[in-house]
Amino acid sequence: MSRMLTEILEQPGVLRRLLQEEKENIRSIANLIQERQCRYAVIAARGTSDHAATFAKYALEVYTGLPVALAAPSVITLYRGRLQLQDALIIGISQSGEAADVGEILRQGRASGAVVVTITNEAESTLARQADHLLLCRAGKETALAATKTYTSELALLGMLVAALAGRDDLNAALAGVPEAMEACLALAPRINQVVERYAYMDECVVLGRGLNYPTALEVALKLQETCYVQAQGFSAADFLHGPIAIVDRGFPAIIVAPSGKSYMQMQEMAGQLLARGAELIVISDRQEILGQARTGLELPTVDEFVSPLTSIVVMQLFACFLAGAKGLDPDQPRGLRKVTVTR
């Protein structure tokens, strides 16, 4: 069994532990943010962690009304810009805790008197040691190059923070149900291992999501790029209509992330437009209408849309892992990549 698959399978247990062990810490940080009356948030991250940051942007704005900007670290590291970050909540996300450019955003936030929070999986990392307020992923050592359990841990921590800031018990209840829903997703592994054989020669595709699952589309595309060498592009379904849809022709693979929620009807309409162009649809959803339109449909458990990014991605982590095997590739050893990437 690959290390990637082992770590995918660990996720329900990781989430159960995280939801319990970081609960009081989350509550304390949320109280501080409210006491300081932060007027906006800036989130700094790279790679997979940046997709978690994109989820946080949607979730914070939807459920708390707090405006969120995703930081461009090169503004500081390359152009030596100085940001005015008073009255801000600054969140830095780095699985390794060694992202130097993320650290620069945190440093300027701290100098401006902002509330600065670090999310990482490494308690002894540089960013963890420098943190004013630390949220730990508690995922255990992640040895596979492709981030899986640390990504869902980041999503869970951000979801917990949103629920605390919004004062929403229903969101906490939805988070509490995630480990069981993840187990239902993992039960699809044998079927996914079978269906990926059809895509062993796939060399390009698009991945489409909307709203809270736009970052899921981005993360699925990244997993296919780094483990399967597929030229996968992730899009918001709304943005995809503004030009990129022109690339779709007969037989072109399109992966659609379409769980129940506010974005579902738009995703169903998108599926219809893609079918009209002859696309081959791979759909992950809990809704039979859109699953019935797919050449390959993977059925999700029904969960609140707020937590659907944590379940949707598990199915596609399995898909990427098994597809790498079908292509004769080792998902644990992608060419030319390292586990920790340091950028400035």
Q: What is the pLDDT of residues 309-327, one digit of tens each?
A: 999 999 999 999 999 999 9
Whether residue 96 is contained in a domain is answered as yes
Same domain, 240 and 274: yes
pLDDT at 7 exceeding the cut of 90:
yes
Cα–Cα distance between 210 and 50 in angstroms, integer? 16
More confident of the two residues 78 and 224: 224
Q: Which of 111, 146, 176 is the last residue of a domain?
A: 176
Whether residue 343 is contained in a domain is answered as no
Whether residue 335 is contained in a domain is answered as no
- Residue 94 has which token pair? 């780095």
pLDDT at 72 exceeding the cut of 90:
no
Question: Sign of the CA dihedral 210, 215, 216, 218?
Answer: positive
Residue 334: pLDDT band (50, 70, 90) is confident
pLDDT at 338 exceeding the cut of 70:
no
Least confident of 31-40, 77-86, 222-231: 77-86
Same domain, 265 and 305: yes
Same domain, 49 and 70: yes
Residue 78: pLDDT band (50, 70, 90) is confident
Q: Is 35 exposed, middle or buried (0-12, 13-18, 19+ CB in 10 A)?
A: exposed
Same domain, 194 and 169: no
pLDDT at 104 exceeding the cut of 80:
yes
Same domain, 75 and 9: yes
- The count of residues in the chain is 344
Kindly report the CATH number assigned to the domain that includes residue 308: 3.40.50.10490
pLDDT attached to residue 344: 58
pLDDT tens readout for residues 230-247 = 999 999 999 999 999 999
Same domain, 172 and 208: no
pLDDT attached to residue 120: 97
Residue 74: pLDDT band (50, 70, 90) is confident
Q: Is 33 exposed, middle or buried (0-12, 13-18, 19+ CB in 10 A)?
A: buried
pLDDT attached to residue 343: 58
For 261-286, what is the mean pLDDT?
A: 97
Residue 335: pLDDT band (50, 70, 90) is confident
Pair 72, 316: CB distance under 8 Å: no
Whether residue 344 is contained in a domain is answered as no
pLDDT attached to residue 81: 85
Cα–Cα distance between 128 and 136 in angstroms, integer? 9
Question: Residue 334's Cα: distance from chain center in Å?
Answer: 20
pLDDT attached to residue 326: 97
Average pLDDT for the chain: 95
For 141-160, what is the mean pLDDT?
A: 97
Same domain, 170 and 240: no
For 149-160, what is the mean pLDDT?
A: 98
For 2-23, what is the mean pLDDT?
A: 98
pLDDT tens readout for residues 26-59 = 999 999 999 999 999 999 999 999 999 999 999 9
Whether residue 279 is contained in a domain is answered as yes
Whether residue 48 is contained in a domain is answered as yes
Whether residue 338 is contained in a domain is answered as no
What is the domain extent for residue 223?
185-326
More confident of the two residues 340 and 79: 79
Same domain, 157 and 291: no
Pair 61, 68: CB distance under 8 Å: yes
Question: What percent of the chain shows pLDDT beyond 90?
Answer: 90
The b-or-e profile of 205-227 (16+ CB within 10 A means b, else e) is bbbbbbbbbbbbbbbbbbbbbbb
- Write down the pTM of the prediction: 0.96
pLDDT attached to residue 182: 98
Same domain, 162 and 221: no
Residue 341: pLDDT band (50, 70, 90) is low
Whether residue 320 is contained in a domain is answered as yes
pLDDT attached to residue 76: 85
pLDDT tens readout for residues 169-202 = 999 999 999 999 999 999 999 999 999 999 999 9
**What total number of domains does the chain contain?**
2
Cα–Cα distance between 270 and 209 in angstroms, integer? 10
Question: Sign of the CA dihedral 195, 210, 291, 295?
Answer: negative
